[in-house]
Amino acid sequence: MIKKQGLYDPQFEHDNCGAGFICSLEGKRTNDIIHKALDILVKLEHRGAVSADGKTGDGAGILIDIPHDYLQQVCDFDLPEPTTYSLGMVFLPSKENQRQFCIDTLNNEFENQGLEVIGWREVPTNQMVVGEIAGRTLPHIEQVFVRPAEGITLNEKELNTKTFIARKIAEHKVYATKMSQASYFYLPSLSTRTLIYKGLLVPEDIERFYTDLTDKRVVTRLALVHQRFSTNTFPTWDLAQPFRYMCHNGEINTYRGNLNRMKAREELLSSDFFGDDIKSILPIVLHGKSDSASMDMVVELLLHTGRSLPEVMMMMVPEAWEKHKSMDPVKKAFYSFNSCIMEPWDGPASIPFTDGNYIGALLDRNGLRPSRYTVTKDGYVVMSSETGVTEIEPKNVAKHGRLEPGRMFLVDMNEGRIVEDKEIKGIISSKHPYQDWLDDNLLPLKNVPYTGNTTPQEETGYTQRLKGFGYTEEDIKTLIIPMMSAGKEAIGSMGTDTPLAVLSHKPQLLYNYFKQLFAQVTNPPLDGIREEIVTDTSLSIGSDYNLFSVDHVHAKKLRIQNPIISNEDLDKIKFIKHKDFISASVSVLYAIDKGYNGIEKAIENLIDKVKEKVSQGANIIILSDRGINKDLAPIPMLLACSAVHHGLIKHGLRSKFGIVIESAEPREPHHFATLFGYGASAINPYMVNEIIETLVSSQDRIQLTAEQAIENFNKAIAKGLVKVMNKIGISTLHSYRGAQIFEALGLNTKFIEQFFCNTPTRIEGIGLFEVEKEISLRHQQAFASAETDESADLEIGGSYRWRRNGEAHMLNPATIAKLQVATRQNKYESYEEFAKLVNDQSRQLMTIRGMFSFTDLDPIPIDEVEPWTAIAKRFKTGAMSLGSISEEAHETLAKAMNRIGGKSNSGEGGEDPRRFNRDEDGDWRNSAIKQVASGRFGVSSHYLANAQEIQIKMAQGAKPGEGGQLPGPKVNPYIASVRNSTPYVGLISPPPHHDIYSIEDLAQLIYDLKNANREARVNVKLVSEVGVGTIAAGVAKAKADVILISGYDGGTGASPLTSLKHAGLPWELGIAEAQQTLVLNDLRGRIVLECDGQMKTGRDVAIACLLGAEEYGFSTAPLVATGCIMMRACHLNTCPVGIATQDPELRKNFKGKPEHVVNYMHFVAEEMRSIMAQLGFKTVDEMVGQSQKLNMSDAIEHFKAKGIDLSTILHKPDVKEGTPLRNTEKQNHKLENVLDFTLISKAKNALEKLEPQTLTLPIHNTDRSVGAILSNEISKKYGAEGLPEDTLTIYFNGSAGQSFGCFATKGLHLETIGNCNDYFGKGLSGARLVARVPEGVSYKAEENIIIGNVALYGATAGEAYINGIAGERFCVRNSGATAVVEGIGDHGCEYMTGGIVVIIGDFGRNFAAGMSGGIAYLYAADGTFDERNFNMEMIGLENPSTEDLNHVEELLNNHIKYTASSKARAIIDHWEKEQKNFIKVMPTDYKKALERLAEEAKQEVN
C-alpha cells in the first residue's frame, strides 16, 4: 500500500460499488447460486474499476453459507454438527515467521475464551490470476475451525460472542506489534453460519482464485456479492467486501462524527457476559479502515448486545422519521428512542446484510442508491444495483420491485419467506414500550419552565465588547441585517480575493482557518430546502448510557428543536431544575496579561473544570465567554469547545454530557457549523441578539420587533447550517454534530493534534501562540483606545467590499484600473504594471502561490520558447451562463476565445443554436466548451453535438456543493428560449446532479456524453479540497478526458456569503494533490489536467503549470477586461456596466470588445513565455509538473506566515522512470461494442433516405446509453430538427442498461419490452420512448417496477410511455417531455420546469418539490389525494378543465396504443366516471407566467 506522502493521504479514499445477492426461499442449497451471484458482478462490471495494470480490481467478494458437508470432506479433521462450531477465514502474513506469530496469537486467544481450535485448513488458491498490484500484498489464506472447549457449554450465540472477543483481542495484539506484515492479519469472516471469500480481484477471477467455489460440493442457500470502485488504486485485501455482516454501496458522510461518538460510548460499555474482556476488545472500530468496514464493526458489536440484525440496521440507518407526518407512531417512537442512543450513519447507502438467518437490504433515507429485486416463481430472490443481471424468463417472474428510501427488504431464510418492511419494523418497534419511555424521560426544551432568571448585564460597554470580539460595521450590515430582516442568509457575488486567514494582517477569528468540505462525485450534496422531509436540525443533550442495556434511561435527554437558542432558552438551561439534568457554566476567559502561558493554562483549567463538574454529576456544560473586560479576554469559542470535546474523549468522560455554547463570537452560519462540527449541542449567540436589539431600537427603517428579528436570525442560521450539512450530503444535525467535516488551512499539526485531532491540515501554519497574539490584538483595539476617539464606532470592515483599512483584495482600484487601460489600449506596459501589482501583492502574502518563487533557473533566449499563440490555445474562459451574464458579454468572450484558438465555456444555461455556425464576418460565437450542470438547461443532443469539449460541473469554486437559482425577473424570453423554459419563471439548479450520486454514476454520465458526441473531450470540473486527488484518480478511472481543479475563490453570479469564503480550498493544494495522486497511480498520462480560480497573470499560469496543470481557465480577469469593475452586484441584476444583468437598459452600457479579451490573453501568454525562458522551458509540455522549479519564498517575515510549510505541495512522487507527468495518451472509452453501431448499420434507409424503418433486437443491462450515438449522428446531419416523426422504430427485448434512450432525438421510437434501469430517457431530445412488460407475464404491470430511478432527468422534448412503476425522482428537471407512467417513487417532478406528466398510480412523497413549471395530472382511484405527499411550496392543486381532461384522455389513449396498459384501459373504459378522479398540479409562478405571455401575445396582435 502506498503510504501518505506529499498531499496524498490514503485516509481520503472513497468507495462506491455494485452489490447484490441471491437466495433460495425454499432453502435449496446449490453450487449454482454462487456462480449466478458472481455473474451478477460480471454484469455490473461497468460499476467497478480497474487499476492501471488492467488487472487489479478494487476488490470483490462473496459471502455464502458455511458449506459444512464439503468442508467435512476436505478437512483432515472431523467437524462437529453445523452451527456448533465457528469457521474463520483468515488472511495471514506471507512471511512464515510472522504468520506463525499471528496463528499462535489467535490460538491463544481462542483458548483464553474457553474455546478449542479444531484445526486449520489452508485455502486452495490460484495465484496466477492475481494482478501485479494485488500480488504485492497477497496474504496467505487459511481457515480456522473453533468450538467450545471440553466441558464448556455454549449456545450458538454465546459461541459467536466468544469468538468475537477472541478475534478482537488477537487483532489488537497483532496490530500492536511493529511487524512489517502485521496489517496482513485479518479475518474476513468468523461465524457459525457464513463464510466470505474475497480479495483484490476482478469479479470473474473470484472463483478462479478461490478454487473451492467451483467445487460442486460447495453449496449454499444464499450468496451476497460485492465489488468495489474506489477512487484510487491503493485498495487493500482486507477492504474488499462483503464484510462480516454487510456490504455497502455508497458512502458514510458522517463517518468522523460516528467514530468519535462510538469512541465516547466505549467508555460506558459493560456486560456481564463479556466481563472484564469488554475493556480488551476496545477500540471497537480499528484505525484506518474504510467507512463501510467501520460500520460493519459497529453492527457486529450491536449484534452482541442482543439486538437483532434488522433492529441494528434500523438503529444505524433510520428512515426519515422526524418529519414523517403519516408514520405509525409506534415506529416513530422506536426511531425517536433510538436517536437518543445512536446518531444516523448518514450518506447514500444501499446496504445488503446477512447473518445467515436473515438476508436483506436497506436504503438510506434519501434513496440515493439504486437497488432492484426480482422474486421468481421458482423460489429465488435476486437483488442487485441493476435489474437484468441474471437471466430470468419473464414468465417466471413473480414480482419486480425496488428498495425504497429508508425501507428494508428482508428475507427470513429459516422461514423461507419475504418479510415485508411493515411487518418486521412492526415487530421490532413493539418489542419495548418506547413511547412510554420517551414520555417519561425525554424533555423537550419548550417544556422546561422559564423561572425568570436572567443572565446579568455585562459591565463592559457595548462597543468595546463588539471590538473585543472583532465585529465590524460590515459584519452588521452585510451579515446580520439581511439575516434578521429576511430570515435568510445574505447573498453575494464574484469570488473572494482576500488573503487566506493565515496570511491576513488583520487578526482573524479562529473559524476562518477552517474550510468546509463538500461532496463531489463520491456522494451527492443534498437539497434541504426542496427535500425538507428528510432534513432535521433537532438535537438532544444529556448523558449517554451503556449500549448493552436496552431500557428507558437512554431517553433521559433534553430535546431542542432549533439548537440556535435565544437568551431565554439559555436561561432555562442554565437554571434548570430537573432530576435528570444538571447544568454547569464554565467560563472560557483568561487573563490577557499572561499571554500565551495564560491561555495555555486556561485551556488546561477549562478541561479540568469541566471534568470536575461532570464528575459532580453535571450533564450539561455551558461554555461561556461572557464577562470580558480590560483584563479578561476570551479563548476562541471554537477552540474552547473542541478542546473540551476532545479533552474529555481522552479522559473517557465525553459521553456523559452535552456542550451548550454561550458566546459573543458566532455571527454567520460557518461559525455555527464549526461549533456543531466540533461537538456543540446548542448555541446562544448573545452578542448578535444584543446587536439586533440595538438596531431595532435605533434604526427607523427597520420595522421588526427584536423578538421577530432574533427569531429570523436564528432561522437564517439554521437554514445556513442545513446548507452546510447538505453540502457534504448530511441530512441531520444529529449526525453532523461532532463530524468535524472541515479542513484546517494554516494551522500547525501540533495545534490540530492537541485540540482538533483528526482534522486534516496540510500546509502547517500558526499554533496557539499566534492564536493568542490575534486575540490580544483584538483585545488591544477594544481596550487600549486612543486618548480621544474620533473614529467611527467600529471598523468599517472590508472583507466583502474593498476598503483602504480593510482586508486586502487582489482586485482593487489600482489593479482594475491598470488592467482596463492595458487591455483597452493594447498596452503591454500597463499590463506589466497590473501583473506586477498582482504578483507583488500576492507575494505580500495573500495566496499560497504568492509564497512561491522560481528557482533552478536555466535561462534560454525567449525566441526559443514556443509562440504565444501556442500557449493561448491552452487558455479557457470560465463557465458563465447566459443568464448570469448578458448576451453581449457572453458572446464577446466566445468570439475572443475562438479568435485565439482557446475555448470559451457556455456555462450551464444552454446556448442559442444560431451561434453554432460561424458568422459572416468570420467570428464564431459558439462556445467550444458546453457545460452540463445539474440543471441540464438546454442540454440536448444537438447542443452536445456542437461541443469540442463537454464539461460536467461537479462543483463550483464559489459555492461547491450547492445548487443555484436564476430568479424569474432574469429569465427574459431569450434566456428562456435558450434554456428551454418559460419566461419569467425562476429556475433552480439542484445541488446534486441527480444522475451522479457516486463515482460509478459519474462514469455512466461520462459514458452517456461520450456517446452523445464521440469527438468531444469530456471534462469533469472539481473543486479543490482535501482528498480531491483521490477523487481525481477515480474520475480518471471513470474515463474523463480532462479534469479541472477549481480553486475555492472563483467567481459566481450569486452565492451565500458563507460559501464564498468558507467552502473549498485554493487550487494550489488541489492541483498539486491531483497531480501527485495521479502520478502515483500512473493515471496521469490518460488525463488532461486543468486549473482555474482567480488566475490573473502569467506567473499564476506558470505556477499552476509547474504544479501539474496543462490547461488554464480565467473568468474574472477577462470580465474586467471587458469592463467589469467588481461591483459585486451580479445577483441583483443591477450591474451598471451591462455584464451581469439582463436589464435591457443596463445592457446598453456594455462596452467590452473581443479584442480586449484577446489582448489580455496575449499579455498573459507573453508573461508566461518570459518565465519559461527564465526557467529554460521551450514548451509548456516540458514544464508541466516540474515542481522542483519552485521553492518557498524565504522573504516571509510575518508572524503568522512564518510557520507555513509548502513542501507537501512541492512534493514530487518517486515513481518509475518514464511515468508520465502530463497527458500522453487518450482514454480508451471502449465504445466499439456499443449497440448503437449495430443500429446505425441496420438503419441506413432511415438515416440516409429518411424512409420509415423498424428493427427488433435483444438488449441486456450491459447495453448502456442506447440511442445516444444514433442521435448524435442524426443531430450532426439534420440538426435540432432530427428525423421526421416515426422514421425509425426499434424494439428491444430484455433488460435495458442504464440511460436507455438518453438524448434520443426526434424521429426515433425506442421501445423496451422487458424492463429498464436508471436514467431512462436522460436528456430526452425529442424521441418517443416506451417501456412495456412482455406479453404473457402473470404479474400486474401497474404493481411492478419497470424503470429505475431518475427517469427523464433533464428531458427537453419527446414522449415516454411507461407500462409500470418508475423509481424515485421521476422527471426531475424535465423541461419539455410528455410522460405517462403507472406509478412513481418519492420526489417526483422535482425542479420540473416544463412538459406534461400523467401518473395513474402512486406518486410517492414530496411530489413537485421545487417544481416551477410544467403540469402534472395525477389519478387516484377514489379521487382523493393526501396533501401530505405534495411539496406545496411552489404549486397549487386544481381540478382539471375540460380542455385538460381531453388532453389527458388523448395521452392515455396513446399509452394504451403503445403499451396495451390494462390500467389505462380500465380508466378509459369508464372515462365518464374516472375523469373526476384526476387532479392537476400547477406551479403557481408558471401559471402567472403563462397568463402574462398570453396577455403579451394579445397585445402584440392588437
Partner 1 sequence: MGKLRGFLEYDRIDEANIPVADRVKNYKEFTVHPGEEKLQDQGARCMDCGVPFCHSGCPLGNMIPDFNDAVYQNDWQKALRILHSTNNFPEFTGRLCPAPCEAACVLGIINPPVSIEMIEKYIVERGFKEGWIQANPPKNRTGKTIAVVGSGPAGLAAAQQLNRAGHTVTVFERDEKVGGLLRYGIPDFKMEKHVIDRRISILEEEGILFKTGVEVGKNYSVEKLKDFDAVVLCGGATIRRRLPIPGAEAKGVVQAMDFLPKSNRWVDGLTNVDPELHAQGKNVIVIGGGDTGSDCIGTSNRQGAASVTNFEIMPRPADDRTTEHPWPYWPFKHKTSSSHEEGSEREFSILTKEFLTDEDGRLSGLKTVQVRWEKQDGARPKLVEEPNTEKEWPCDLALLALGFTGPEPTLAEQLGIQLDDRSNINADTKSYQTNIPHIFAAGDMRRGQSLIVWAISEGREAAYQVDKFLMGTTQLPTKTNGDLPNHP
Q: Which residues bind partner 1 (CB under 8 A)?
A: 473, 477-478, 494, 699-701, 784-788, 790-793, 796, 800-805, 809, 811-814, 816-818, 820-821, 824-825, 829-830, 833, 1123, 1125-1129, 1132, 1134, 1136-1137, 1145-1146, 1149
Cis, peptide link before residue 859, omega less than 30° from 0: no
Q: Between 890 and 1128, whose beta carbon lies closer to partner 1?
A: 1128
Choice between 178 and 701, CB closer to partner 1: 701
107 C-beta neighbours (distance < 10 Å), count: 18
| Cβ at position 845, least distance to partner 1 in Å | 14
Nearer to partner 1, 77 or 1199 (CB): 1199
- For the bound state, the minimum distance from the C-beta of residue 529 to partner 1, rounded and expressed in Å, comes to 24
Q: CA-CA distance, 1146 to 1124, in Å (whole number)?
A: 13
Nearer to partner 1, 668 or 912 (CB): 668
Nearest approach, Cβ of residue 1148 and partner 1 (Å):
9
d(CA 1116, CA 889): 12
Residue 928 grid coordinates: 467550444
Rounded to a whole number of angstroms, the minimum distance from the CB of residue 791 to partner 1 is: 5
- State which residue, 477 or 899, has the beta carbon closest to partner 1: 477
| Nearer of residues 449 and 969 to partner 1, judged by Cβ | 969
Q: Using alpha carbons, select from 853, 858, 828, 830 the residue that is nearest to residue 1172.
A: 858
Cell of 277: 474482556
Give the number of other Cβ atoms within 10 Å of residue 39's Cβ. 19
Q: Report the candidate in 1015, 1090, 1044 with the shortest Cα–Cα distance to residue 952.
A: 1044
Q: Which is nearer to partner 1, 95 or 801 (CB)?
A: 801
Active site residue 17: yes
Min. distance of Cβ 507 from partner 1 in angstroms?
16
Pick between residue 1127 and residue 1460 the one whose CB is nearest to partner 1.
1127
CB of 433 to partner 1, least distance (A): 57
Question: What is the C-alpha separation between 203 and 1213, in angstroms, rounded?
Answer: 31
- 477 vs 1212, beta carbon nearer partner 1: 477
CA distances in angstroms from 1429 to 372, 732, 1302, listed in the order given: 23, 21, 29
Between 214 and 791, whose beta carbon lies closer to partner 1? 791
CB of 801 to partner 1, least distance (A): 5
Q: Which is nearer to partner 1, 803 or 1014 (by Cβ)?
A: 803
Minimum CB distance to partner 1 smaller for 127 or for 698: 698
Q: Which residues lie across from 1438 on neighbouring strands?
A: 1480
User: Per residue in 510-540, is it b (16+ CB within 10 Å) or e — as a string?
Assistant: bbbbbbbbbbbbbbbbbbbbbbbbbbbbbbb
- CA 770 – CA 777 distance, rounded (Å): 10
HSE (CB half, 13 Å, CA atoms) of 1313?
A: 16
Taking only Cα atoms into account, the Rg of the chain, rounded to an integer number of angstroms, comes to 32
Angle between helices 1462-1469 and 1442-1459 (to 10 degrees): 140
Residue 550: alpha-carbon gap to chain centroid: 34
Closest approach of partner 1 to the CB of residue 851, in Å:
20
Which of the following is catalytic: 17, 1091, 1105, 1124? 17
- Centroid of chain to Cα 355: 30
Per the DSSP assignment, residues forming a β-bridge with 1294 are 1259, 1314
Distance, in Å, from the CA atom of 1269 to the CA atom of 1265, rounded to the nearest integer, reads: 8
CA atoms within 13 A on the CB side of 272: 2
Give the chain's end-to-end CA distance (angstroms, integer): 76
Minimum CB separation of residue 471 from partner 1 in Å reads 15
Of 1014, 1000, 994, the residue nearest 1321 (C-alpha) = 994
DSSP states along 296-365: HHHHHHHHTTT--HHHHHHHHS--S-TT-TTS-HHHHHHHHHHHTT-----SSEEEEEE-SSEEEEEE-T
Write down the least CB distance from residue 847 to partner 1, Å: 18
Largest CA distance in the chain: 102
- Report the C-alpha gap between 121 and 89 in whole angstroms: 10
Q: What is the closest distance, in whole angstroms, from the C-beta atom of residue 345 to partner 1 in the complex?
A: 43
Asked if the bond preceding 283 is cis, omega within 30° of 0, the reply is yes
CA atoms within 13 A on the CB side of 72: 10
d(CA 84, CA 191): 10
Q: Which residues pair with 1088 in a beta bridge?
A: 1042
Q: Is 324 or 824 the residue whose CB approaches partner 1 more closely?
A: 824
* Minimum gap (Å) between residue 788 Cβ and partner 1: 4
Give the list of residues 6+ apart from residue 27 with CB closer than 8 angstroms, or none: 221, 413, 416
Amino acid at 1461: S
Grid cell of 255 as nine digits: 463517518
* Dihedral, CA of residue 21, residue 22, residue 27 and residue 33, to nearest 10: -120
Q: CB 1468: neighbour CB atoms within 10 A?
A: 16
CB of 692: closest distance to partner 1 in angstroms?
A: 17
Catalytic annotation, residues = 17
